[in-house]
């Protein structure tokens, strides 16, 4: 643990009747009053993962590193698809943002500078929360799903293996394959909510990702730009999902943190 970072584990940020308590771990930069807050949302296809397990490529001290850069980090768990279907996880992400804003003063943090950051399914949730009503100052989304109706064709075009079946990650999240519930799939897609009022967004995606192809981020960037929103898109050469094949993951982290610093 970095000496200048204090970790406050197992904070209950939400409680939905019939489900386990929703918890987060808070990483605080010591000696940094009025620090901005990153609500970090893990990936895992909406069906697995934990706030305690970041991407292997990031190393074990990812949250501590962000805190050492002057950010407080609220690493959250949320209801997985085996527990509750869409929109449960999106609602949890919005609740976590609300908790960060409501409790910032208790920890000496800045309620006006709350960000969302996530990877893969977590990137999707980070975007959905920010684009559907949560008060967020900016968003970082790494290789996110942004367009559920278009995902299978994007996977096929990228040389991947589309899974249209009822046990796919997307079907378990929605409750049915996207093709059979097209209205719900659109409702669950960040591209649907692009508007001029969207917070600034940084999208970073591996250029040869065939699990969640870069076309997903490209499409959202184009939609946000057309709507008049501020968006930056960076494709990482040679990288697949999870930043496998990326030459310099530390530079990706610095780029992302720098984007949030610029909007602090």
182-229 pLDDT, tens digit per residue, is 999 999 999 999 999 999 999 999 999 999 999 999 999 999 999 999
Tell the residue number behind the tokens 């002057």, with chain if given. Answer: 70
Report how many domains make up the chain.
1
d(Cα 11, Cα 220) in Å, to the nearest integer?
33
54-104 pLDDT, tens digit per residue, is 999 999 999 999 999 999 999 999 999 999 999 999 999 999 999 999 999
What share of the chain has pLDDT > 70, as a percent? 99
Tokens of 109: 């943090």
3-state secondary structure of 168: coil
**pLDDT score of 2 more than 70:** no
Under the banding of pLDDT at 50, 70 and 90, the label for residue 3 is low
247: region left, alpha or beta (phi > 0 left; psi from -120 to 50 alpha)? alpha
b/e sequence 165-181, b meaning 16+ C-beta within 10 Å? eeebbbbbbbeebbeeb
Under the banding of pLDDT at 50, 70 and 90, the label for residue 1 is very low
Global pTM reads 0.98
pLDDT mean over 236-246: 98
For residue 94, what are the contacts with CB-CB under 8 A and spacing of at least 6? 129, 132, 133, 134
What single DSSP character describes residue 203? E
Cis peptide before 13 (omega within 30 of 0): no
The CATH number of whichever domain residue 143 belongs to comes to: 3.40.50.1820
d(Cα 187, Cα 195) in Å, to the nearest integer?
15
N-to-C CA span, the chain: 25
For residue 115, the enclosing domain spans 5-262
């Amino acid at each position: 643990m970095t000496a200048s970072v204090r970790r406050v584990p197992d904070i209950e940020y939400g409680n939905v009747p019939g489900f386990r308590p929703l918890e987060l771990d808070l990483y605080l930069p010591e000696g940094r009053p009025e620090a901005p807050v990153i609500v970090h949302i893990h990936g895992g296809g909406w069906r697995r993962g934990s706030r305690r397990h970041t991407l292997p490529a990031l190393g074990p001290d990812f949250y501590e590193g962000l805190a050492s850069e002057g950010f407080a980090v609220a690493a959250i768990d949320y209801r997985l698809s085996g527990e509750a279907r869409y929109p449960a996880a999106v609602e949890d992400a919005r609740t976590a943002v609300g908790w960060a804003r409501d409790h910032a003063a208790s920890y000496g943090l800045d309620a006006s500078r709350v960000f969302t950051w996530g990877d893969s399914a977590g990137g999707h949730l980070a975007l959905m929360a920010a684009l559907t009503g949560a008060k967020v100052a900016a968003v970082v989304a790494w290789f996110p799903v942004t367009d559920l109706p278009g995902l299978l064709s994007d996977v096929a075009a990228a040389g991947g293996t589309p899974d249209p079946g009822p046990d796919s990650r997307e079907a378990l999240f929605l409750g049915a394959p996207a093709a059979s519930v097209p209205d719900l799939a659109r409702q669950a897609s960040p591209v649907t909510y692009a508007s001029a009022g969207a917070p600034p967004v940084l999208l970073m995606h591996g250029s040869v990702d065939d699990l969640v192809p870069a076309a997903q981020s490209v499409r959202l960037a184009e939609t946000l730009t057309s709507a008049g929103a501020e968006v930056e898109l960076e494709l990482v050469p040679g990288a697949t999902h999870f930043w496998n094949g990326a030459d310099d993951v530390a530079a990706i982290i610095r780029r992302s943190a720098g984007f949030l610093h610029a909007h602090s």
